[in-house]
């Protein structure tokens, strides 16, 4: 009998974990390559290099001391430089341009408060990027079935035991209440909940089919949201404003008829 994974770090070493990690890595690489600013923080899932394609000069990778399944002795290279509590980030208000939270909310002690802390440290128009397990998926269904079966002593969990898997609609509501605007959202990893690597590979055709026919039922979601502040407008560079100025009107010379003279 297969032993159950005890935490997220161990689970991501499994065949489905590596499959999901590969999908998430591609999303972060694509979405963050053109996000500009000065300060970026990755909080959670140190197995993922979410900021590797981003060009911000100051970047930090951290794990959450309150996040289940990420013991300090199980970090991959390069090790995370910081250990933080997701609901008490040691950054001043409005100091970060980008905060990425791969699987951080669902393993936090207090997900809504962790998201509120993200809103505090982000600058106006700053971005938070969140990825997590989708409960409304084949993987989520198997996880619920495992919990039901465990009550009678038969069940086995497919995903990590601890963690509150947050539905996408619920996450959107939390973001809206904190004045975040969802800029983009996508789902992925449509293969069935299979632990065997060979069988998981045989189901690769379901990725393209799922993205077309049941897009919101992927095993994970990837959300980019922008912090909006009323009365604050992001200033554009001077060269861009200059290029948008309307050209000055050209002077037009008009010919005037000479005044009529009295006939003599």
pLDDT in tens, 192-234: 999 999 999 999 999 999 888 988 999 999 999 999 997 655 5
Are residues 168 and 143 in contact, defined by beta-carbon separation less than 8 angstroms?
no
Alpha-carbon distances, residue 206 vs 54, 138, 203, 211, 213 (angstroms): 30, 12, 6, 8, 10
| Contact indicator for 202, 196 with CB cutoff of 8 Å | no
**C-alpha–C-alpha distance, residues 52 and 107, integer Å:** 23
> Is pLDDT of 9 > 50?
yes
User: How many CA atoms within 13 Å lie on the side-chain side of 255?
Assistant: 1
pLDDT at 2: 38
Distance CA 1, CA 211 (A): 33
Cβ partners under 8 Å of residue 73, min gap 6: none
Cα separation values, 139 from 155, 170, 214, Å: 15, 18, 14
Whether residue 78 has pLDDT greater than 50: no
| C-alpha dihedral (198, 201, 203, 206), degrees to nearest 10 | 160
Return the structure tokens found at 238. 């001077």
Cα–Cα distance, 155 to 157 (Å, whole number): 7
pLDDT for res 259: 58
Q: Give the integer Cα–Cα distance in Å for 140 and 160.
A: 11
State pLDDT tens for residues 81-127: 677 778 788 999 999 999 999 999 988 888 999 999 999 999 999 99
pLDDT of residue 190: 96
Planar angle of CA 97, 225, 84, nearest 5 degrees: 55
Homologous superfamily of the 8-231 domain (CATH): Vaccinia Virus protein VP39 (3.40.50.150)
């Amino acid at each position: 009998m297969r032993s159950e994974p005890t935490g997220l770090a161990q689970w991501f070493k499994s065949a489905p974990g590596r499959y999901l990690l590969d999908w998430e890595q591609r999303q972060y690489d694509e979405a963050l390559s053109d996000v500009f600013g000065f300060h970026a923080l990755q909080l959670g899932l140190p197995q993922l290099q979410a900021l590797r394609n981003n060009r911000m000069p100051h970047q930090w990778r951290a794990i959450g001391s309150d996040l289940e399944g990420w013991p300090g002795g199980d970090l991959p290279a390069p090790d995370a430089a910081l250990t933080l509590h997701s609901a008490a980030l040691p950054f001043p208000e409005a100091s970060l341009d980008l905060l990425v939270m791969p699987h951080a909310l669902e393993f936090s002690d207090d997900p809504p408060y962790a998201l509120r802390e993200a809103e505090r440290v982000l600058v106006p128009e700053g971005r938070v990027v969140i990825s997590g397990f989708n409960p409304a998926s084949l993987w989520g269904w198997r996880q619920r079935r495992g919990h039901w079966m465990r009550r009678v002593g038969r069940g086995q969990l497919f995903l990590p035991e601890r963690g509150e898997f947050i539905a996408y609609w619920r996450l959107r509501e939390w973001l809206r209440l904190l004045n975040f605007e969802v800029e983009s959202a996508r789902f992925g990893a449509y293969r069935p909940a299979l632990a065997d690597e060979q069988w998981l590979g045989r189901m690769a055709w379901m990725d393209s089919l799922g993205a077309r026919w049941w897009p919101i039922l992927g095993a994970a979601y990837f959300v980019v949201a922008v912090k909006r502040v009323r009365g604050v407008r992001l200033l554009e560079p001077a060269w861009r404003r200059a290029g948008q100025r309307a050209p000055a009107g050209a002077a037009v010379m008009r010919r005037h008829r000479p005044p009529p003279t009295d006939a003599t």
